[in-house]
Amino acid sequence: SQQGEEDPQALSIQEGENATMNCSYKTSINNLQWYRQNSGRGLVHLILIRSNEREKHSGRLRVTLDTSKKSSSLLITASRAADTASYFCATDANSGGSNYKLTFGKGTLLTVNP
Amino acid sequence: DGGITQSPKYLFRKEGQNVTLSCEQNLNHDAMYWYRQDPGQGLRLIYYSQIVNDFQKGDIAEGYSVSREKKESFPLTVTSAQKNPTAFYLCASSILGQGRGAYEQYFGPGTRLTVT
């Protein structure tokens, strides 16, 4: 079952511009995570935001979480060609004993043109 | 050098054959996971394990089997019963949370399986 859904599916911008990706989910969560995947590689964890947090920063990344709207956004500022990758949100389930599992969305493919 | 290793990177098999994908971690993580990724898609959970000799089915377990005889190892067997086995397979591990939800997962480089 798909818990998180990213929007847009694909995003193409110029180097130096900001990129914003959104994620919506359906059920109550403990935390939401963002991952990055370069083509043909494994995923790399970017940032985790807990359900009682509203905003978190890490370098050029800014993540917001709105639990009332069940949505999150990932902002990458001053993008670089090396940021070209797919970005996934992942949520856990705030219920039951297996709340260490993650459910991933389908991802946003970001292309940063030099 | 800590991390997760998956081997091989590419694997080719004939239809009707079982094939086993390797996943090893030296991060001392309790939990391990197997995901399948199809082109342009997100990750779908096949099996997961939080302790040696115990594992649970994920969302798409049919046609797959796993074992967890050692904490470090979580091999995945793609059986001939899996109708559409060609895909990119990712293994991951994490620590187990203390009731605070899921922790970050560390991923291996993946194995691309092609069945013809």
Contact B102 A2 (CB under 8 A): no
Most confident of the following: A95-99, B16-20, B97-101: B16-20
For residue A113, give how far its alpha carbon lies from the nearest alpha carbon of chain B (Å).
20
| Locus of tokens 């939800």 | B101
Q: Which of B41, B75, B8, B87 is nearest to A37 (CA)?
A: B41
Identify the closest residue of chain B to A48 by CA–CA distance: B104
Over residues B66-90, the pLDDT tens digits come to: 999 999 999 999 999 999 999 999 9
State the sign of the Cα–Cα–Cα–Cα dihedral A47, A17, A70, A3: negative
The more confident residue out of A69 and A27 is A69
Contact A50 B100 (CB under 8 A): yes
Over residues B20-37, the pLDDT tens digits come to: 999 999 999 999 999 999
Residue B114: the pLDDT is 96
The more confident residue out of A91 and B101 is A91
> Average pLDDT over chain A, rounded to whole?
92
- List beta partners, residue A66: A71
B88 contacts on A by Cβ (under 8 Å)? 40
Does a cis peptide bond (omega within 30 degrees of 0) precede residue B8? yes
Q: How many CB pairs under 8 A join A and B?
A: 77
Q: Measured in Å, how far apart are chain A's first and last C-alpha atoms?
A: 37
Q: Is residue A1 very low, low, confident or very high in pLDDT (cuts 50, 70, 90)?
A: very low
Q: Answer for the pair B4, B110: CB distance below 8 angstroms, yes or no.
A: no
Say which of A41, A48, A99 has its CB closest to residue B104.
A48
Contact A101 B42 (CB under 8 A): no
> Would you say residue A4 has pLDDT above 80?
no
Over residues B36-67, the pLDDT tens digits come to: 999 888 899 999 999 999 999 999 999 999 99
Identify the closest residue of chain B to A38 by CA–CA distance: B109
Residue B41: the pLDDT is 83
> Average pLDDT over chain B, rounded to whole?
93
List Cα–Cα distances, A96 to A51, A79, B21, in angstroms: 17, 39, 30
Report helix, strand or coil for A108. Answer: strand
Separation of alpha carbons A97 and B38, rounded Å: 28
